[in-house]
Structure 1
């Protein structure tokens, strides 16, 4: 049987690199591991640390839009674990990010909420 240890990274293609870079680093507070400009592709690749995993943020010229609905096939959302959801929601709203009301997971009893990145990618906060 295949032995998978953990998720290594999630890759996101953004429409405006500088806006998304600011969102993920200054608002979400993710640490930059490496930023690379690939001239042959006219593309940036920004590796961001999320605990033991990474987010790879890409920019590509004229990348097509992707429809994103919570119940559509494919990646539904990307979830971040936080210690204090109220503090995290407060920080996001302080930066002008709209956040849905906090809910409770019926199965685990844990609190969670959703918000979106600058391109509308659904993101979740899940309380530890």
Structure 2
């Protein structure tokens, strides 16, 4: 069995698409729209993983909190291949205005990781 994709409801679909494509190397399909106002992109990553970014007026737009975890999606983890790559991308993202809620560190379960918030405060683990 294989996970096909994960999905995130977005308030700014275009900003989220641009973030994942620019910073995490995603490749996007053309935008899908239906008659009910639902819009989405599927983003593909090396190795076959996909992320669906979705927007629809009927979904709550209450902003998530950067300070607290919440029920639902906990995080998305992206492997970068080396500690140097984690350190470098973390620094680039912070310099570009992203919020870092977990500085690069060795974790107890064997990862070297940092935690960055995407434009809508979803937690992204950058791992080696």
TM-score category of the 2 structures, normalised to the smaller one: 0.7 to 0.9
Map 1:111-122 to 2 at 5 A.
111-122=112-123
Q: Between Structure 1 and Structure 2, which shows a larger proportion of strand residues?
A: 1
State the superposition RMSD in angstroms: 2.0
Moved over 6 A (4+): none
For 2:19 and 2:86, how far apart are their aligned partners in 1?
18
Unaligned runs of 5+ in 2: none
Partner of 2:31, secondary structure, is strand
Work out the CA distance in 2 between the residues paired with 1:115 and 1:27. Answer: 11
**TM-score, normalised via structure 2 length:** 0.80
Take 2:103 and 2:79, find their aligned partners in 1: how far apart are those partners? 17
Q: How many residues align?
A: 120
Match of 2:10 in 1: 14
Q: Which whole-Å deviations, capped at 9, do the CAs of 1:47-68 have from their partners, x for residues lacking one?
A: 1112211001111114213756
> Could you say what secondary structure the match of 1:12 adopts?
strand
